[in-house]
Structure 1
């Protein structure tokens, strides 16, 4: 399996047949992109690395349910990375809560204050991060795929199990909310508008 030019569909098919080299090529091909996405969500390097490892573990663990989009495994990995990062944040919050419940002297400084006080979107534009925090889970994933990662709405819809029209309607509403929150217009392509709405 030395041909790195094989597309994801061929590599994934070989991986499902037990070809470890094919899975390794998929890992090598997408690791850097997934790490950048994880680091944007969890801006602590070793935590982001853990998120990446978990995302690829989930790729294999849930291999029977994985859907390639336009011949690429990357959209599935990006959504999974977003979910793993969210779960990591929740676990960190629970750990912080536990630490805070332990007795300590008044002058003891918590070394984790700086890490846990950050929000995973703080490495994105501050105003955009604040606006995105108010969105629901599906809408945050749409923003992640379409606005932050540059995928088309139809690709994001496929990854998230939405119809194209439902994704367009959601994205239109999200962009309107972000436009109001950011105080500046956000251009929406005509083919991304829900039926009956003019740009």
Structure 2
């Protein structure tokens, strides 16, 4: 019996009780949406796949603490995706910092990586927005994700985040303004230097 027949909340109740088949149904229902969101946050499809898997692992691992909004776990999954993506980015930054400290010639393939990076960075608009979004606090990322990207209402976002509706509205207003400023600063830097982000 699929989700369309019994509703997500009933399937979630079964999954929460440890039913792996019910959890698999939830995965099938939400994986594409979670993956698309992860891909907005990171550069590579491989990383987005890993982040998607980690978000669902957290859903299973923390199933007794998941906040359900409008009879769905999607808002919780999207917020968790933001958190996992941020952890991946931090880890990658630490790794890159280590590589940057190594003397040139100690590692191979630098030219290949530069070529891949140049190809990815050619899409300035997407890269600019991804970078600007990454500079927001996790609280601002969450409200942008839920209200702008996923187009949830303020009440749904408030329920998902466990904060008052007024806080969602004021945070959303500030987050949009900061995102626009960061994206504008990044575009200005690119046009000034003539290079990619």
TM-score of the aligned structures, taking structure 2 as reference length:
0.78
Partner of 1:196: none
State whether structure 2 residue 13 is matched by structure 1 residue 13.
yes
Query: How many pairs were matched up?
Result: 180
SS at match of 1:165: helix
Q: Which runs of 5+ in 2 are unaligned?
A: 185-197
Partner of 2:45: 45
* Superposition misfits of 4+ residues, deviation over 4 angstroms: 106-109, 113-119, 128-131, 176-183
Q: Deviations over 1:120-177 (max 9, x none)?
A: xx67484x55654553221121111111111112211222221111111212233344
TM-score of the aligned structures, taking structure 1 as reference length:
0.77
CA RMSD of aligned residues (A): 3.0
Higher relative contact order (CA 8 A, sep 6+): 2
CA distance in 2: counterparts of 1:16 and 1:41, whole angstroms: 28
Q: Residue 42 of structure 1: CA displacement?
A: 1.2
- 1:125-136 counterparts in 2 under 5 A? 126=128, 128-129=129-130, 131-136=132-137
Give the number of the structure whose residues are more often helix, by fraction. Answer: 2
Partner of 1:90: 90
Partner of 1:164: 165
Q: CA, structure 1 residues 112+87, in 2 after alignment: closer, same or farther (shift >3 Å)?
A: farther
